[in-house]
Amino acid sequence: MYFIINVLGIAVFLAIGVLFSKKRKEIHWRSVGILLALNVFLAWFLTSFSVGREIIVAAAAGFNWLISVAYEGIAFAFPDWVHVPQMNFFTSALLPILLVVPMFDILTYIGILPFIIKWIGKGLAFLTREPKFESFFAIEMMFLGNTEALAVSSLQLKRMKADRCLTLAMMSMSCITAAMVGIYTKMMPGEFIITAIPLNVINALIVTNLLHPVKISEEEDTVATVTDGGKQREPFFSFLGNSILGAGRLILIICANVIAFVALAKLIDMLMVLIHPSLTLENILGCIMFPFAWLMGLDTTEAFKLAQYMGTKLVTNEFVVMLNVQDILGEFSRHMQGVLTVFVTSFANFSTLGMIIGCFKGLVDEDKNELISRNVGYMLLSGILVSLLSAGIAGLFIW
């Protein structure tokens, strides 16, 4: 019976995407069907065979190495920020942008990155029926994380229309950073963490296709290069200097937005507690999420616990939930362990909204920023639906 409820839950999550769709008649149903079938296969493959997880672990290890190189540069300037048991958010998640962005900009400058995006994107687009850049961005986001993937895509973002930028903003609510994978696997079951990563990527494409379908012409489905429009290539060191300064400015904008969003959420919590001690954002969201937790195929007791953890994750972040459950996870059923781990393995929360809005403010013009800011609710809904779908699909094979 619980398996049937789990299947029903996936259908309900998809139906919510259709219900809140901006352009229901323009949904690419063939693309949604192909992507859904691909994700069911991936969930089966990754939960049943170790070789699939080993491939993703190897790819993630490569990006972890890149981040570790960034930490060497940070340690040169601020050794007391890096050589500590637990680095703060600014050091671990934001400062590596100072290496990642210039490195990818150099690859763009010499033409390697546009070539990779073009051909990998073309292959993925053939499979997913999505535009080349969006398809590649999904893979890029899987390993680099949201702000890093957006930052290294700045040239493309500046030349894309606003609707497509909103699609990328919505997709960015659903990923994690490769640098975090090793930390996550020490706190929750590694097999479920690794399973969640590609599922989130494919589900991000599905959910944005449902909520915000965008049709583009063949002429628009291109990959930007530094010489587009016949422009003369900027001297290399001038280009590199601008890239580094842009990365530094971006870090400050993201940091300011995160602090403001988290502080505002805390202020709302404190004001509501004045009305009643149990009236908090976490508890409210926990009650709202209970029906969706039950649709994961859990009994009411475990569904209620899962809903509370869902609410906590959305208001705070995945680390808070992982710290709360890592010592008691063995007390839950295997199915509960799987769906909980997959659900929390993403950056879908209020602080991520601040990061993404801040990132776009540092990269694109005011019109695009306004469109993204007007659709904060859709961005959050996108992140929640992706997490629900990933947990529901993975749950089909975890009992």
Residue with tokens 């002429």: 219
| Long-range own/partner contacts, residues 330-334 (CB < 8 A, 24 or more apart) | 332/302, 332/305, 333/298, 333/302, 334/398, 334/399
- For the chain, list the strands marked E by DSSP: none
Chain-centroid distance, C-alpha 266: 23
Q: Identify the DSSP state of 235.
A: P
pLDDT for the residue numbered 91: 84
Helix (H) or strand (E) segment spanning residue 338: helix 334-344
Neighbours of 29 (CB within 10 A): 11
Tokens representing 399 are: 């009992």
CA distance 344 to 341: 5
Tokens of 194: 């690794």
Rg (CA), the chain: 20
Please state, as a whole number, how many other Cβ atoms lie within 10 Å of the Cβ of residue 17: 24
Question: Mean pLDDT per 10-residue run, the chain (399 residues)?
Answer: 89 94 87 90 85 71 76 90 82 80 78 70 70 77 71 78 88 73 70 85 90 77 57 76 79 75 78 82 81 92 89 79 81 91 86 82 84 89 94 91
> And the tokens for 19?
């219900």
DSSP 8-state code for residue 49: -
pLDDT at 399: 84
Q: Where are the beta strands (DSSP E) in 241-316?
A: none
Residue 330: the pLDDT is 83
Percent helix, strand, coil in the chain, to 5, is 80, 0, 20
How far is 146 from 25, CA to CA, in rounded Å?
A: 29
Own/partner pairs, 221-226, CB within 8 angstroms, 24+ separation: 221/125, 221/131, 221/132, 221/133, 222/132, 223/114, 223/117, 223/118, 223/121, 223/132, 223/133, 223/156, 224/114, 224/155, 224/156, 224/158, 224/159, 225/108, 225/111, 225/114, 225/155, 226/108, 226/109, 226/155
Q: Note the pLDDT of residue 181.
A: 66
In the prediction, which pLDDT does 396 show? Answer: 92
Reference 225, options 214, 217, 216, 234; nearest CA is: 234
| Separation between Cα atoms, residue 291 and residue 246, nearest integer Å | 44
Listed in sequence order, the residues at least 6 apart from 211 whose beta carbon sits closer than 8 Å to its beta carbon are 17, 20, 21, 22, 170, 378, 381, 382, 385
Tokens at 55, concatenated: 């491939």
Q: How far apart are CA 374 and CA 96, in angstroms?
A: 29
Q: Residue 219 CB: number of other CB atoms within 10 A?
A: 6
Element (H, E) at 233: none
